[in-house]
Amino acid sequence: MAARYQIAGSSSAEISASVETGIRTGGLAPGDALPAVRALAAALAVSPATVAKAYQELRQRGLVATAGRHGTRIRPRPPLATRRAALMPPPLPGARDLSAGQPDSRLLPPLGPHLGLLAAEIGAPSGYAATPVLPALAAAARDRLAADGVPAEEITVTGGALDGIERLLAAHLRPGDAVAVEDPGWANLLDLIAALGLCPIGVPVDDEGPSEPGVRAALAAGARALVVTSRAQNPTGAAVSAERAGALRTLLAGRADLLLIEDDHAAELAGVPLHPLAGATPAWAFVRSVSKPYGPDLRLAVLTGDEATVARVAGRARVGAGWVSTVLQRLVLALWQDPATTDLVRRAGESYERRRDGLVAALAALGVAAHGRTGINVWVPVPDETLAVTALRDAGWSVAPGALHRIAAAPGVRITVSSLDESDLAPLAAAVARVVRPAPTGFTA
Ligand SMILES: Cc1ncc(COP(=O)(O)O)c(C=O)c1O
């Protein structure tokens, strides 16, 4: 435990509240170990069961994780408003930030002109929405999804992909249930799963998507839901291939005990065809965010699925947040219908592809294997993440440590390529090569 923070309390509620305060105020940092149950119980003069209960409650809320003999530690990004995780120190002044997984703001459509047009036609203020999804948006979404082979009869709208996934998991699963996720996978999804008190089961992923034996093993281990990233898998760039989709569809066919969630966040940017799994299981959902092609600040995703699954998500939203503002829905519809925006998104996709392929090729030329088939990230396996992140930071490049993204997968770093220029590729590849294959030490002739 960090000696600077003393956990206090005489009941499990007080002990867990004390740990929470420590995290919030920075006395306990991500990665810090909590004392062993018996040691803390002795120090606080309470029974070990009281401390164990406090730790269990913190675990179910995603604030801490227990990893066998490594004990209980503060999770990398606990769901509390804190400073940026200690695992992701801010880039040094002057360093390039390639750690954020953001699209290039120069390649996002400007919203001003569309907001101007909307202002002219929006009419009288609306009251409580009579239809939570604008019929014109639903029709356009249905057409776009059908063109990609996704049967989209039922449509609802959520506040982004992760909001949709949270609503799906909360509607179908209970704390303690297991969720199969790609490993390495999207850090925010791992954080969400922890915050919901669910148990992640890692499924190995290669360039063609989650491995079939990995999904099979996760099902055998009792997974109640499976989340698959269709394209631009974060962090590896994998995209589900036709062959992998076929194998997974066969494996999942008719599994009534499993909720299948597909996350197609790259959408129009993906640059490779979609091979959906939609409909392979009776309970399924397909979520497509507008964040990457049109801008994360729009906070909108369309969600389709079987009737019962979509009804659960839409019904739960109705008794909570209500709906996604029709102002935002109109804005997204306007962007979808604008030929100049369609052209910009196409060019953005091509630009990301050039930067990704350029970096992977520059690394390959130096003998470094990297992954980045689609999307805005390149994943580089490294022997030691901490050393790699620190050495790259010292060389002027801030990258994300794989620890945020993985459960049992081998170490790596994630490099977001979206802001790279052509002239960056060679020096960045050289810096990465130095950390992956350090020059031999000792005397040379
Ligand atoms: C795998 C994955 N899904 C979805 C998203 C987008 O999520 P949201 O729609 O919540 O912005 C991201 C963004 O990085 C992502 O990496």
Q: Give the closest residue to 239 by CA, choosing from 202, 200, 279, 266.
A: 266
With contact defined as beta carbons under 8 Å apart, do 61 and 79 qualify? yes
> Which residues does 338 contact at the CB level (< 8 Å), separation at least 6?
109, 114
Question: What are the DSSP calls for 243-256, one per residue?
Answer: HHHHHHHHHHTT-T
- C-alpha 162 to ligand 1 mean position (Å): 7
Name the residue at shortest CA distance from atom 4 of ligand 1: 265
User: DSSP strand E in 16-170: where?
Assistant: 64-66, 72-74, 96-97, 154-158
Sign of the four-CA dihedral 324, 327, 331, 334: positive
> Which ligand 1 atom is nearest residue 101's CA?
14
- C-alpha 342 to ligand 1 mean position (Å): 20
Cis peptide before 381 (omega within 30 of 0): no
Q: What is the pLDDT of residue 123?
A: 84
H helix intervals, 148-255? 161-172, 187-195, 212-220, 242-252
Question: What are the DSSP calls for 262-316, one per residue?
Answer: EE-TTGGG--S-----TTSSSEEEEEEESHHHH-GGG--EEEEE-HHHHHHHHHH
- C-alpha 99 to ligand 1 mean position (Å): 15
- C-alpha 265 to ligand 1 mean position (Å): 6
Identify any residues that bridge with 301 across adjacent strands, giving them in sequence order.
Answer: 158, 289
Residues 34-64: b if buried by 16+ CB within 10 A, e if exposed: bbebeebbeebebeeebbbbbbbbbbbbbbb
Name the residue at shortest CA distance from atom 7 of ligand 1: 161
Ligand 1 pocket test: pick from 163, 227, 289 the residue with the most ligand atoms within 8 Å of its Cβ: 289
> Which ligand 1 atom is nearest residue 163's CA?
10
Give CA–CA dist 299/314, Å, rounded.
16
Identify any residues that bridge with 262 across adjacent strands, giving them in sequence order.
Answer: 228, 286
Ligand 1 pocket test: pick from 263, 269, 404, 414 the residue with the most ligand atoms within 8 Å of its Cβ: 263
Per the prediction, the chain carries an average pLDDT of 93
Say if strands 301-305 and 283-289 run parallel, antiparallel, or are unpaired.
Answer: antiparallel
Cis peptide before 184 (omega within 30 of 0): yes
User: Tokens 């997204």 sit at which residue?
Assistant: 332
Ligand 1 pocket test: pick from 166, 192, 291, 417 the residue with the most ligand atoms within 8 Å of its Cβ: 291
Q: Give the closest residue to 345 by CA, choosing from 361, 332, 358.
A: 332
> Which ligand 1 atom is nearest residue 162's CA?
10
- Per residue of the chain (445 residues), give pLDDT as tens: 445 799 999 999 999 999 999 998 889 998 999 999 999 999 999 999 999 999 999 999 999 998 877 799 999 888 887 654 454 566 677 889 999 999 999 999 999 999 999 988 888 888 887 788 999 999 999 999 999 999 999 999 999 999 999 999 999 999 999 999 999 999 999 999 999 999 999 999 999 999 999 999 999 999 999 999 999 999 999 999 999 999 999 999 989 999 999 999 999 999 999 999 999 999 999 999 999 999 999 999 999 999 999 999 999 999 999 999 999 999 999 999 999 999 999 999 999 999 999 999 999 999 999 999 999 999 999 999 999 999 999 999 999 999 999 999 999 999 999 999 999 999 999 999 999 876 555 554 4
Ligand 1 pocket test: pick from 99, 157, 162 the residue with the most ligand atoms within 8 Å of its Cβ: 162
Q: What is the dihedral of CA 331, 333, 336, 337, to 10 degrees?
A: -110
Q: What is the pLDDT of residue 345?
A: 97
Q: Which two tokens stand for residue 232?
A: 């631009």
- C-alpha 161 to ligand 1 mean position (Å): 6
Q: What is the pLDDT of residue 444?
A: 44
Ligand 1 pocket test: pick from 234, 287, 300 the residue with the most ligand atoms within 8 Å of its Cβ: 234
Q: Which two tokens stand for residue 407?
A: 């459960």
pLDDT in tens, 218-277: 999 999 999 999 999 999 999 999 999 999 999 999 899 999 999 999 999 999 999 999
Name the residue at shortest CA distance from atom 5 of ligand 1: 265
- C-alpha 191 to ligand 1 mean position (Å): 13
Give CA–CA dist 183/228, Å, rounded.
11
The number of angstroms, rounded, from the C-alpha of 271 to the middle of its chain's C-alpha atoms is 20
Give CA–CA dist 234/385, Å, rounded.
17
- C-alpha 102 to ligand 1 mean position (Å): 10
CB-defined site of ligand 1, < 6 Å: 101, 160-162, 186, 229, 234, 263, 265, 289, 291, 296, 301
Name the residue at shortest CA distance from atom 16 of ligand 1: 234
Q: What is the dihedral of CA 352, 358, 359, 361, to 10 degrees?
A: 140
- C-alpha 417 to ligand 1 mean position (Å): 16
**What separation, in Å, do the N-terminal and C-terminal C-alpha atoms of the chain show?**
48
> Which residues does 203 contact at the CB level (< 8 Å), separation at least 6?
180, 181, 182, 183, 210, 211, 214, 215, 217, 218, 226
- C-alpha 416 to ligand 1 mean position (Å): 14
pTM of the model: 0.92
